Amino acid sequence: MPCAGASSIAVILLLQLRIRETAGDVTVVCRDLRDVEVAWDPAEHAGANLSLTWRYDSREPPRPCPRYYLSGSGVTSGCVLPALPLRSLEIDVRRGAGPPVFHWKGMASAFLKPRPPSNLTLHWLKDDDAVRVTCPALPLRGLDYVIQHRGPGDEDWVASAAPAPSCNVTVGGVDPARCLDFRARAAPRESVYGGHVWPSDWSPVTRWWADSCRQAPPTPWSPKLPVACSLMTLVTSLLLLLALWRLQRAKRGFLPWVPDPKGGFRGLFERHGGNFQAWITQDVAPPLKPEATDPAADPAEVALVLEHHGKGAESESAPGSPGLPLQRARGGDLVTVGGATFRLDSGSYMTL
């Protein structure tokens, strides 16, 4: 019997060695007993397309791969097929019609890789100065849970305790004033699944929030930010001034300058609100006295006292107003008022 046991162990070791030698660059992963992923490197096979066949029952013909992975060059680089945990799986990877470059037959669970744990919960044990880390157990047997932790400034993770058969680990010697990050993963036992198993990926990090790290440390002051803000403000101001200057130039080009009439006609806007008729009647040509007005004449034909240059005889001086010529305005005469020259029409209305 001891010889038989030793021979069985030797057969198992030879089988494992055979698998490793035959596999070469081929990698097999059974993800959480749901899918089997077989991957290879196309560069190791001169960029040739490899084909995969599989079956769970040796009495059935091999089946082609249901879904291939393709590399960047468009050749096959892997295959995904369903996993049946309680049945033996046979895999062949070939290059064309030649012999298999990879052949394996056995339980798919031999390449088990469980999914990572989730929902880590931390409990502070005040009497023991320890933190208890718990998480829901994965629905697989024969797993060991590994817990690691590190401080905010640490680069390396530290094993919190020895691997445990359940996700319920107490981490002792913890400083309650220090913040710590925790993570966990599950590793299948080789005694249950074999030597080709894979540990799961690490779970998301869960932080133990101590009082000292609840507030984020102040950000160190850096002169770069104020300088950058000042430069940005200066550039923005210069661009705004340039835009306003260009707008004024464009406005002057489309709307030429118009002289202000207030400079040439004093009193027109200050005393008469822009009423030209009232301004010239009051300031330039006051009406004649009632006794000098012809009763038969039209009121609109009242003579104006004007300095003019036009048709007709020389002006005569009015009695009582030496040096100031008085004459009734006639159509077509040129009249100078306040430095501006006007022409009278037939109705004695001034036209600029």
Q: Which residues contact 307 (CB under 8 A, 6 or more apart)?
A: 325, 335, 336
At residue 320, the 3 state secondary structure works out as coil
Q: Which of 62-71, 121-130, 265-274, 276-285 has the lowest mean pLDDT?
A: 276-285
Among candidate residues 336, 340, 346, the one with its CA nearest the CA of residue 309: 336
Spatial distance between the Cα atoms of 38 and 47, rounded to a whole number of angstroms: 17
Write out the DSSP string of 213-281: GSSPPPPPP-THHHHHHHHHHHHHHHHHHHHHHHHHHHHHHHS-----TTTTSTTTTTTTTT-HHHHHH
- Terminal alpha carbon distance of the chain: 137
Mean pLDDT of 195-205: 93
Which residue would you say has higher pLDDT here, 301 or 77?
A: 77
At 306 the pLDDT is 46
pLDDT exceeds cutoff 70 at 212: no
- Does 121-191+198-213 carry CATH code 2.60.40.10? yes
Which residue would you say has higher pLDDT here, 224 or 324?
A: 224
Q: Which of 19-23, 59-63, 191-195, 267-271 has the lowest mean pLDDT?
A: 19-23
C-beta of residue 180 within 8 angstroms of C-beta of residue 163: no
At residue 288, the 3 state secondary structure works out as coil
pLDDT exceeds cutoff 60 at 21: no
Which residue would you say has higher pLDDT here, 16 or 350?
A: 350
Among candidate residues 28, 29, 199, the one with its CA nearest the CA of residue 115: 199
Tokens of 55: 């079956």
pLDDT exceeds cutoff 70 at 299: no
Give the pLDDT band of residue 3 (cuts 50, 70, 90): very low
User: Which residue(s) pair with 309 in the sheet?
Assistant: 334
The 10s digit of each residue's pLDDT in 228-262 is 888 889 989 989 888 888 888 777 766 666 666 66
Q: Mean pLDDT, the chain, as a whole number?
A: 75
Q: Which pairs from 148-151 meet CB under 8 Å and 24+ separation? A: 148/182, 148/183, 148/184, 148/202, 149/180, 149/181, 149/182, 149/183, 150/180, 150/181, 151/178, 151/179, 151/180, 151/181
Give the pLDDT band of residue 344 (cuts 50, 70, 90): low
The 10s digit of each residue's pLDDT in 79-131 is 999 998 778 899 999 988 888 889 989 888 999 999 999 999 998 887 777 88
Tokens of 153: 């400034």
Q: Which of 10-14, 236-240, 246-250, 298-302 has the lowest mean pLDDT?
A: 10-14
Q: Model pTM?
A: 0.53
What whole-number percentage of the chain has pLDDT above 90?
27
At 264 the pLDDT is 65
Tokens of 53: 């066949």
At 189 the pLDDT is 93
pLDDT exceeds cutoff 70 at 74: yes
Tokens of 184: 């966990």
Which residue would you say has higher pLDDT here, 68 or 85?
A: 68
* Alpha carbon 165 to chain centroid, angstroms: 45
- Does 7-113 carry CATH code 2.60.40.10? yes
Residue in the block written with tokens 């006794």: 291
Spatial distance between the Cα atoms of 266 and 340, rounded to a whole number of angstroms: 12
Spatial distance between the Cα atoms of 94 and 71, rounded to a whole number of angstroms: 17
Same topology between domain 7-113 and domain 121-191+198-213: yes
What whole-number percentage of the chain has pLDDT above 70?
64
Mean pLDDT of 178-204: 91
Q: Domain limits of the chain?
A: 7-113, 121-191+198-213, 276-351
Spatial distance between the Cα atoms of 339 and 325, rounded to a whole number of angstroms: 18
